[in-house]
């Protein structure tokens, strides 16, 4: 009589744990996940990646006779590994959006908001522009390939059920958060400095030629200077974002090492 259920229960349980780590990472990771990606596409990508990675994963530590408490702890650990990956990637894009918000406020676009399809939140139009620019560069630099490859290699550094975070993991998260705020300030620095000089120049003009209505003249000049500096800084910004993405990939690898 043919075997109607050829898969061993241990294999099914191990695959579900692999799927937990992969889906937790892809569901919250920008570009590959988020609310902007349809749920069937996210689920299909998670199943596809899990099916490719599963034959390479060591499943000897997974047993069917484990109690529910131990099994729940292992599943929670797998989910935390995936969420940590998504968190580090999200912090990079959060820095880019922070820079866009600062630029939008300086230029005068503080009330010109659009709906971010990823987070469904109201963001500045300059934040959305820089976010789209960063996403395109993220795909151009093939960073999604490196992240998926790192996610597949994470099972060698953090085996199934082997989630054991080190104390230095919190320091890594704090460093990534600080780097996100620093990146936002550095990306917005050219526009901020130019507009500061422009404001100083307009103040001198207002003192020397009081007949000029400085508010009517200054507002379109602020927009023009801000957009011009943004356009001129896109090329250096691409180089800077490549360094940010490279640092992000290395931080993800360090995080896997600290969780294993």
- Report pLDDT digits (tens) over 101-120: 889 888 877 776 666 665 66
Higher pLDDT, 109 or 97: 97
In angstroms, what CA-CA distances link 123 with 89, 127, 129, 230?
Answer: 19, 6, 10, 18
pLDDT at position 187 over 80: yes
Contact between 146 and 249 (Cβ < 8 Å): yes
Beta strands in 29-125 (DSSP E): 113-115, 122-124
Q: Residue 118: helix, strand or coil by DSSP?
A: coil
Q: Residue 26: helix, strand or coil by DSSP?
A: helix
What is the pLDDT confidence band of residue 93, given thresholds at 50, 70 and 90? very high
Q: How far is it, in rounded angstroms, from Cα 96 to Cα 184?
A: 6
Under 8 Å CB-to-CB from 49, ≥6 apart: which residues?
A: 22, 26, 148, 151, 152
The pair phi, psi for residue 114, each rounded to 5°, is -130, 165
What is the pLDDT confidence band of residue 161, given thresholds at 50, 70 and 90? confident
In angstroms, what CA-CA distances link 137 with 26, 124, 131, 225?
Answer: 19, 20, 10, 25
What is the pLDDT confidence band of residue 5, given thresholds at 50, 70 and 90? very low
Q: How far is it, in rounded angstroms, from Cα 61 to Cα 140?
A: 38
Q: Residue 62: helix, strand or coil by DSSP?
A: coil
- pLDDT tens-digit profile of 61-73? 777 666 778 778 8
Mean of the pLDDT values across residues 196-223? 81
pLDDT at 65: 65
Task: Report pTM.
Answer: 0.86
Q: Residue 123: helix, strand or coil by DSSP?
A: strand
**Percent of the chain's residues with pLDDT above 70:** 90
**Average pLDDT score, the chain:** 85
**Percent of the chain's residues with pLDDT above 90:** 33
């Amino acid at each position: 009589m043919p075997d109607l259920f050829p898969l061993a229960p241990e294999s099914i349980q191990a695959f579900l744990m692999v799927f937990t780590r992969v889906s937790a990472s892809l569901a919250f990771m920008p570009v590959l996940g988020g609310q902007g990606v349809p749920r069937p596409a996210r689920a299909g990508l998670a199943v596809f990646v899990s099916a490719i990675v599963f034959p390479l994963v060591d499943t000897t530590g997974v047993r069917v006779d484990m109690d529910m408490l131990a099994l729940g702890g292992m599943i929670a650990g797998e989910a935390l590994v995936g969420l940590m990956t998504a968190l580090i990637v999200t912090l990079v894009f959060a820095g880019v959006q922070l820079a866009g918000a600062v630029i939008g406020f300086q230029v005068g676009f503080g009330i010109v908001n659009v709906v971010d399809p990823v987070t469904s939140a109201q963001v500045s139009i300059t934040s959305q522009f820089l976010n789209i620019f960063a996403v395109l560069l993220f795909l151009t630099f093939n960073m999604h390939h490196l992240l998926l490859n790192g996610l597949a290699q994470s099972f060698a550094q953090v085996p199934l059920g082997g989630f054991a975070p080190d104390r230095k993991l919190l320091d890594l998260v704090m460093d990534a958060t600080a780097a996100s705020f620093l990146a936002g300030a550095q990306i917005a620095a050219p526009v901020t400095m130019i507009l500061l000089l422009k404001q100083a120049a307009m103040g001198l003009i207002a003192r020397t030629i009081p007949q000029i209505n400085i508010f009517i003249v200054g507002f379109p000049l602020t927009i023009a200077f801000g957009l011009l500096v943004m356009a001129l800084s896109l090329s250096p910004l691409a180089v800077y974002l490549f360094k940010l993405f490279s640092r992000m990939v290395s931080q993800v690898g360090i995080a896997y090492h600290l969780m294993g």
